[in-house]
Amino acid sequence: MNLRRDVFQAIADPTRRAILLLVASQSLTAGAIASNFDTARPTVSKHLQILTECELLEQKQSGREIYYNINAKKMKAIADFIEPFRQMWDDRFNKLESIMKAYKKPE
């Protein structure tokens, strides 16, 4: 539960969300990620650290460089988090729709 909350704090920040979007399609070094932002490099590093601690990002050493890529499993956990809630409302609304359709055309 606590770990989850941390994940949500991690993605609460717009810069961190932007970072996740950037690395969603390709692995990038810290430098390459930072070059996409006007923010100071240490700030970006801090964001990368938080995202890594929350296991949203994974680090991979390649030669002298460290590449960051997204942890798809963890990202899925976030999407799943609201899905049951959405599903519940979808079920209810489907029911509402069929009830009212029947109501519209009484036999």
For another protein, the binding residues (CB under 8 A) are 1, 4-5, 8-9, 11-13, 17, 81-97, 99-101, 103-104
Instruction: Work out how close the CB of 91 gets to another protein at its nearest, in angstroms, rounded to a whole number.
Output: 7
Instruction: Work out how close the CB of 4 gets to another protein at its nearest, in angstroms, rounded to a whole number.
Output: 8
Closer by beta carbon to another protein, 47 or else 67: 47
Instruction: Work out how close the CB of 28 gets to another protein at its nearest, in angstroms, rounded to a whole number.
Output: 22
Closer by beta carbon to another protein, 40 or else 96: 96
Length of the chain: 107
DSSP 8-state code for residue 59: E
**Two tokens, residue 68:** 């960051």
75-81: long-range contacts, CB 8 A cutoff, minimum separation 24 = 75/20, 77/4, 77/7, 78/7, 78/8, 78/11, 81/4
